[in-house]
Amino acid sequence: MATISFSHNHQSSDNRRGGTHHHRHGPVVEEIEGLIKVFNDGCVERPPIVPTVSPTLHPSAKATAFDIKLSNDTSVRVYVPDAAASPSVTLPLLVYFHGGGFCVGSTAWSCYHDFLASLAVKTRCVVVSVNYRLAPEHRLPAAYDDGVSVLSWLVKQQISHGGYSSWVSKCNLSNVLLAGDSAGANIAYQVAVRVTASGKYVNSLNLKGIVLIHPFFGGESRTSSEKQQHHSKSSALTLSASDAYWRLALPRGASRDHPWCNPLVISSAGAKLPTMLVFMAEFDILKDRNLEMCRVMRSHGKRVEGIVHGGVGHAFHILDYSSVSRDRIHDMMCRLHNFIHP
């Protein structure tokens, strides 16, 4: 799959009622097995492939978490590590976008909940995990718009000292990072491009860095790693799933060389972006594309640190529980800590 195997809160009305009569919706026009079906009449089914959990954390987690609804379509799950308990302590703020090919996924998925709770504690930062609108009901740029809206909301929380000021006061908004995995990494990148190009929040949020974990980009021309399908068994993302996600997420009629899919088609891509940390995986079909992006960004004078984890595939940090994966996750956490606290 093109970003993580998940299911999301945004389900069709038939999903919510439970029990769907396929013949009522006509033939299936797009399907990624186990993740999403799109029917001819526009109905969308997302099987509950990943358990969803409440924000409650065990005391041993050394953090607290809670959900905040921002609108009918967007919400956030906030993770505050116990390290922020001291009144004099403020911590970096990391805004995180989950993966799922823009089409599936949720802040409530157990795999994301566990990973981000651990990340908040091990990297000593407050994490805001974003639930954004999903395609195909809401094609791009809806997810990018939601990301920018969350940043605007954070600024307003700081200014208004409203109902959530107690946790906002723990955030150092002069040290803000955008992060995500797979499609979420694409969103983090595109939101950062928008914010830095406009300068809209430059006086309120100091964007210090961007963290891209297995970023989901594409293009009409295939890379070598995209052609090597024999790696697909070791990775959560296949080329066919990737293509399907792009067909569902991009504006109708757009090709995979649209700048939202292939940002390198724009010569000035990321011109004003801050330092970037890019994680890649040996068996990910996106590896070569991600390596090329790092190379191009460096050629434009950007500071980019690229890390390739061996022996693992796409989204291993949330989907793979092997001993090899655990070792790579430990390395990822250490590198994230050092990037956030240079």
| Contact between residue 8 and residue 187 where contact means Cβ atoms under 8 Å apart | no
Measured from the Cβ of residue 217, the count of other Cβ atoms closer than 10 Å reads 23
Indicate if 182 belongs to the active site: yes
Structure tokens at 76: 């956030």
Q: Report the alpha-carbon distance of residue 224 to residue 147 in Å, rounded.
A: 32
**Reduced to 3 states, what is the DSSP secondary structure of residue 252?**
coil
Which residue intervals of the chain are DSSP H helices?
A: 13-17, 110-122, 142-160, 165-168, 183-198, 224-227, 239-249, 287-299, 316-319, 323-340
Task: Give the Å distances, CA to CA, from 272 to 78, 151, 191, 299.
Answer: 28, 18, 12, 14
HEC profile of 274-300: CEEEEEEECCCCCHHHHHHHHHHHHHC
Catalytic-labelled residue, pool 182, 232, 235, 325:
182
Q: Which of 280, 279, 278 is nearest to 297 (CA)?
A: 278
| Contact between residue 95 and residue 150 where contact means Cβ atoms under 8 Å apart | yes
Task: Give the Å distances, CA to CA, from 114 to 96, 108, 181.
Answer: 14, 10, 15
N- to C-terminal Cα separation, the chain: 34
**Reduced to 3 states, what is the DSSP secondary structure of residue 157?**
helix
Residues catalogued as catalytic = 182
